[in-house]
Copies of this chain bind each other. A is one copy, B any other.
Amino acid sequence: MKTDIDFYFDFISPYGYLASTQLERIAIAHQRRIEWRPFLVGVTVMKIMGLKPMMQTPLKSDYVRLDKPRMASLLGVPLASPDVSRSNSVAAARAFYWIRDRDADAAMAFAKRMLHRAWVEGRDITPPEAVAEEASFVGIDAAQLRQALASQSLKDRLQREMDATIARGVFGSPFFIVDEQPIWGVDRLWMLEHWLRNGHWRRE
């Protein structure tokens, strides 16, 4: 009866990708399921929090440029450096939820493919064609998905997810919630593991 780990991430977030490479190992070790929940971190950061994008923030942008490759190295995973300044993950996120409503396993496989495309292959994930291409590799009808991506109902579907995400206090990527405990950042995977191991926040 263990609850799921809610894994909030943005497809265009390098730290979200980095977390995704570690999370399954952690979840399996502690017999938890992962609920993948892509969202648009630009909306929370800019519209809700009133901040600037990370890579347009003085001092922090320099730090992040230096930090991304060393974090990938620490985790032992590849990390490409696509130019995401003109990318957005709206179509990817909408596609995810459309697939999720039909097939949870396919949605997870799709999410992994999109993250791989962006952060291992270094390719753009913005255009609906890119999204449909990756979806087709996990057994989704690309034409049907392309049609759905143009629909108001799928826009509304993502909007409801965004509202729920913000209502739960999620603001950064990655962000984990397990047993109502919010945990922000790939640098806090050790806290997630502490909680899963102990179910408390006292020192071990």
Asked if A187 and B182 make an inter-chain contact with CB atoms under 8 angstroms apart, the answer reads no
Shortest CB-to-CB span from A35 to chain B, Å, is 20
Closest to A200 in B: B73
14 further interface pairs, Cβ-Cβ under 8 Å (given A49-B58, A73-B201): A50-B52, A51-B51, A51-B52, A59-B166, A59-B169, A60-B171, A66-B182, A73-B202, A73-B203, A74-B191, A74-B194, A74-B201, A74-B202, A187-B188
Mark each residue of chain A from 57 to 82: 1 if its CB lies under 8 Å from any CB of chain B, else 0. Answer: 11110110010001001111000000
Shortest CB-to-CB span from A179 to chain B, Å, is 13
28 example contacts (A-B, Cβ-Cβ < 8 A) are as follows A44-B59, A48-B58, A48-B59, A49-B52, A49-B58, A49-B59, A49-B60, A50-B52, A50-B57, A51-B52, A59-B166, A59-B171, A62-B169, A63-B169, A63-B171, A63-B182, A63-B184, A66-B182, A73-B201, A73-B202, A73-B203, A74-B191, A74-B194, A76-B202, A185-B187, A187-B187, A187-B191, A190-B190
Within 8 A of B (CB), among A130-161: none
Asked if B58 and A50 make an inter-chain contact with CB atoms under 8 angstroms apart, the answer reads yes
Partner of A70, one of B44, B58, B75, B201: B201
- Which residues of chain B are within 8 angstroms of A44 by Cβ–Cβ distance? 59
How many residues of A are in contact with the other chain, CB < 8 A? 33
Q: What is the CA–CA distance of A171 and B58 in the complex, to the nearest angstrom?
A: 9
Q: What is the CA–CA distance of A185 and B190 in the complex, to the nearest angstrom?
A: 14
